[in-house]
Each structure stands twice: as C-alpha cells, then as structure tokens.
C-alpha cells in the first residue's frame, strides 16, 4: 500500500531531517545567487536563505519551534566554530604582534563605539529597556551575544536576529565604506569588519583576501571577549545612575 | 585521517565544555565559548604550532561560518510583533551603528598605525 502525501508530510514535519536539509539547501541557493551575481554584496547568502526559509515556513504554517528541531544541529556548530577562532588567532600571532598597539586601540575604540552608538540611537528614538539590552551586544557573534543579552536583561532570541541583521548590514556596506574613507590596508579592513560585523562579516572578509579574513576573525574573537567583559560593567554603571 | 577529524572535533567540544564549566564555577560574566576559545589559544601557544589538519578542519568550519547564522536569523518570525512596532528604531540603530563602528574602527587603526609606524610591511606611500 502506498502512503498518501499527507502521511508523508506528517512524518517529515515531525522529523528534524526535513528542516535540516532545507536550511542547508536554502543557504546553497543563496550562495549560488551570490556567486552568480558576481558577488554583489546586497545578495548576501544568509539574507537570501532567511527569506527563502521564512517564506516556506509561513506558507506551510510551520512554527519556528518545529523548524528549529532540525536547524538546531547547524545552530549548535556556532559554539565549536567560536572555539575554532583560536586557530586563525594563533596563526596570525606574528602579524598581530607587529600591529599589536594599533589593534588593541582599534578594538577598544570600536567595541565601545558599537555598544554606545546602538544603545544611544535606540534610546534617543525611544526603544524600551529590554529592546535596548537586546540591541547592545549586536556586533558580536551569536552565542556570545545571546549569553550577554541574557545576563543584562535582553531577549536572547531577539538579540540573535539583531546580530544576524548587523552581520548582513556590515557585509553589504563594508567595501563601499572603505572606498569612501580610502582605507586600503587589508589588515585594517579585516579588523574593522570583524569588530562591527562578527562571523557574517568575516565570511565576507575571507572573500576579499586571506589576510582580511584572518584579521576579521581575529577582531571578531577579540570583540566577543571585550564586549562580554565591558558591556555588563557599562550597564551596571549606567543603570546605577 | 578520519579518526583525526573526530579527534579535532573532540578537542573543540572539550574546550567549549571546559569554558562553560569554568564560567559557571567561577561565576564569570564571560560566555563559555569565549573562555573555551581562550583555553584553546593558550593550549596552541604552549604547543607552539597548529597541526595542518587542525587548521584544515577549523578553516572549513570558519569558511562556512555564515551558514551557522541562518537558524538564528529565521527566528525573525518569532519577533514579528516587536519588529513591526520598532522597525524604524531598530533599522536606524543597526545601520547607523554598523557604519559608525566600521568607520571609527578602521580610521582609529589607520591613525594609530601611522602614529606608531607599526606594521611596516605593505605600508603605502603618502
């Protein structure tokens, strides 16, 4: 006896297999369009994948929870990927030593700029406190940002969305901004992308050059650490007034 | 070789696990994966080199880093309400903050490099 399409759908909708496959396929489709367009920054693979997946989930009436049952296997890899950042960090150690002072200075200035500009603009435009706290860590990679948001009273899942959006924005605007500001040094470009736009920016930076990518990965790791240390202190100082 | 891949993943996961345990044990404000990254970095510094295949596995993971953000990004559908109410504030804050952060970081590093004349390699002429 042959199963009805409905029976098959019931099985697929309940198993992680379908949504895991869909996540990878949507990303490949995004990546294909991105390459096909001659790497136009606006056709960001993550953005395309999200649009495809949200459309499918809304059309089929699937909840985010049941989607995440499958997608969690991909999401989980963010943890090990964060650990793996230690490797390019270590590999770039000799270069980093040469620009150690400027890097540390740029990290301190950039990390504070990311936090203060986001909270400042949000506050000036009247965002609520939980929204501000969700917004504050948006420049660092997802697992770190979610951990910070939880500690300072934001909504971790909203933070995740804001982090991804920031990454896409950073990846889209970076090269345009560097042309405008005449920043040509690859190490500097990479560092600025990594501080502002974490992993999605880093993926973009690797397309510019190996050096840009490595410095972006470095800055992403350092800014994760810096923001995790700085933000709770800043919030305490700010909240205490 | 295939066994090395398992070993490398075990090392990454063990570092993450150690980071999570230490962060909770000492009640540090730093997320576990960040501590795990520091642990691996220190281990590599003590060892003195990165084995080729370790570099290859981590390189593969980092090359496809943006894929890993897709599930979190799809979470946009959970916050349709908050986003609809705050879309203007959030868009302005995110775009402006990204522009300012990239510009300030890039210019700060360029300026400091010039002042300290560090990173002489590939230094452009004025």
Q: What percent of chain A has pLDDT over 70?
A: 98
Is A162 part of the contact surface with chain B (CB cutoff 8 Å)?
Answer: yes
A181 burial (CB, 10 Å; 0-12 / 13-18 / 19+) is middle
pLDDT at B120 over 80: no
Residue closest to A90 by CA, chosen among B8, B67, B26, B54: B54
Q: Please answer yes or no on whether B116 and A102 come within 8 Å at the CB atom.
A: yes
In the prediction, which pLDDT does B125 show? Answer: 43
Is the Cβ pair B78, A224 closer than 8 Å? no
- pLDDT range class, residue A238, cuts 50, 70, 90: confident
Q: Which residues of A53-86 are buried (b: 16+ CB within 10 A; e: fewer)?
A: bbeebeeeebebebbbbbbeebbebbbbbbbbbb
ipTM above 0.90, yes or no: no
What's the rounded mean pLDDT across residues A115-137?
A: 94
* B44, B63, B95 ranked by CB distance to A86: nearest: B44
Q: Is A133 in contact with A156 (CB distance < 8 Å)?
A: no
Instruction: State mean pLDDT over A226-230.
Output: 89
A69 touches B at CB < 8 Å: no
Asked if pLDDT for residue B56 goes beyond 90, the answer is no
pLDDT at B118: 54
Kindly tell me if the per-residue pLDDT of B2 is higher than 70. Answer: no
∠ at Cα B37 (B35, B41), nearest 5°? 115
CB contact under 8 A, B75 and A160: yes
B30 and A228 within 8 Å at the Cβ level: the answer is yes
Q: Does A43 touch chain B (CB under 8 A)?
A: no
Q: With beta carbons under 8 A apart, name residues in chain B contacting A219.
A: 105
Alpha-carbon gap: A236 to the closest alpha carbon of chain B (Å): 12
B69 touches chain A (CB under 8 A): yes
For residue A241, the model assigns a pLDDT of: 43
Q: What is the pLDDT of residue B99?
A: 97
Closest alpha carbon within chain B to A188: B106
Residue of A nearest to B41 (CA): A86
- Collect all residues of chain A within an 8 Å Cβ-Cβ radius of residue B12: 80, 83-84
Tokens of A203: 């993926």
| Structure confidence at residue A239 (pLDDT) | 67
């Amino acid at each position: 006896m042959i199963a009805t399409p409905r029976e098959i759908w019931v099985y697929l909708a309940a198993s992680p297999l379908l949504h895991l496959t869909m996540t990878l396929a949507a990303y490949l489709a995004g990546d294909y369009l991105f390459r096909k367009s001659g790497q136009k920054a606006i056709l960001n693979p993550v953005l395309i994948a999200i649009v495809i997946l949200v459309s499918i989930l809304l059309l089929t009436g699937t909840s985010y929870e049941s989607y995440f049952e499958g997608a969690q296997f991909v999401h989980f890899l963010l943890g090990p990927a964060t650990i793996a950042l230690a490797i390019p960090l270590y590999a770039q150690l000799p270069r980093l030593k040469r620009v150690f002072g400027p890097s540390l200075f740029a990290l301190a200035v950039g990390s504070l700029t990311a936090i203060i500009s986001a909270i400042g603009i949000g506050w000036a435009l009247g965002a609520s406190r939980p929204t501000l706290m969700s917004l504050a860590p948006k420049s660092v990679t997802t697992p770190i940002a979610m951990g910070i948001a939880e500690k300072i009273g934001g909504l971790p899942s909203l933070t995740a969305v804001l982090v991804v959006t920031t990454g896409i924005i950073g990846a889209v605007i970076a090269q345009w901004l560097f042309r405008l500001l005449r920043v040509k040094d690859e190490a500097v470009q990479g560092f600025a992308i990594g501080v502002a736009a974490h992993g999605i920016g880093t993926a973009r930076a690797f397309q510019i050059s190996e050096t840009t990518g490595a410095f972006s990965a470095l800055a992403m790791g350092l800014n994760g650490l810096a923001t995790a240390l700085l933000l709770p202190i800043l919030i305490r100082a700010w909240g205490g007034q | 070789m295939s066994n090395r891949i398992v070993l490398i993943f075990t090392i990454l996961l063990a570092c993450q696990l150690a980071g999570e345990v230490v962060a909770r044990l000492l009640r540090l404000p730093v997320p576990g994966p960040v501590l795990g990254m520091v642990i691996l970095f220190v281990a590599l510094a003590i060892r003195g080199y990165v084995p080729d295949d370790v570099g290859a596995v981590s390189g593969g993971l980092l090359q496809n880093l943006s894929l890993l953000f897709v599930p979190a990004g799809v979470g946009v559908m959970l916050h349709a309400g908050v986003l609809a109410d705050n879309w203007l504030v959030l868009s302005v804050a995110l775009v402006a903050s990204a522009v300012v952060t990239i510009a300030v970081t890039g210019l700060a590093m360029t300026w400091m490099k010039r002042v300290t004349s560090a990173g002489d390699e590939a230094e452009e002429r004025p």
